[in-house]
Amino acid sequence: MKNKLNVIEENGQLLVDSREVAEMVEKRHADLVRSIESYLVVIDQNAKLRSDDFFIESTYQAGTGKLYKQYLLTKKGCDLVANKMTGDKGISFTAQYVSRFEEMEKALKARSSLIDTYLGLDEEERAIAYFTERKAKRELQAQLSLVEPKVEKYNQFLDADGLMKIGQLAKVLCIKGMGQNNLFKYLRENNILMSGTNKNVPYQKYVDRGFFQVKTQETNIGIKTITLVTPKGADFIADLLANREAV
């Protein structure tokens, strides 16, 4: 069973990928999709309920390039799935999603408060507040950086394809003790990058979400595999690190 559930934010809404849920509850993803669609049939029959409050239909791209259906689950959607489960798997899943949603909700509230305060200052006050707090509270820098347009924030490090190396991302994030090697280690420990033979290659589900691209480069000693991060992936990693510090 998967040890930790990843909660993502899209347009201010907290969501969980149905593939992650299926992995956590040790169920085939296709079977979970069928179950969700049976719930949607019932929900759609009630005029007082909105299906998007529970499940949002989406797609993901497999390694073959083919698109497959998936769903993004809200907290209500997770509630509905958990209510149909019994035993240890149901208890573990419930405990995980409740905890992770609470952690993300707290982080979002903290971020919102910081951004509101920051934007309420004039240019000179903002500069003073930023440089004063940066040394004492490194997390303020991470949260305020989210105000900037996502691509522009990383623009100086992006190549022609809009990608950057892990070491370049470490420079952008500017987190003490989180240089290139430690960032690689952190991503491996959180099961985002692989260990062993395919060390530092992202798991396919994170490639499917548009967080990484893997390229090969010919060198004097053979073919070298390079993991590159997209701006979307950079924000995903930045959020993970910010939540780690906030919790």
Q: How high is the mean pLDDT in each 10-residue block of the chain (247 residues)?
A: 68 85 87 93 91 91 83 91 78 78 71 57 57 50 46 66 85 84 92 88 90 81 83 86 61
Q: Can you give the pLDDT at residue 124? A: 58
pLDDT at 147: 41
pLDDT of residue 247: 37
Q: Single out the residue of 83, 86, 100 nearest to residue 20, CA to CA.
A: 100
pLDDT for the residue numbered 221? 72
Q: What percent of the chain has pLDDT over 70?
A: 74
What's the confidence (pLDDT) of residue 120? 58
CA distances from 141 to 174, 175, 238, 242 (A): 9, 9, 11, 10
The pair of structure tokens assigned to 123 is 């240019």
Element (H, E) at 96: helix 87-119
CB-based contact 85:30 (threshold 8 Å): no
pLDDT of residue 84: 81
pTM of the model: 0.45
Q: Tell me: the pLDDT tens digits for 156-209?
A: 677 767 788 998 888 888 888 888 999 999 999 999 999 888 888 999 999 888
Tell me the C-alpha distance between 3 and 162, whole Å: 32
Cα–Cα distance for residue pair 176/172, rounded to 1 Å = 12
* DSSP class of 182: H
pLDDT value for 110: 64
DSSP, residue by residue, 190-220: TTSB--GGGTTPBPHHHHHTTSEEEEEEEET
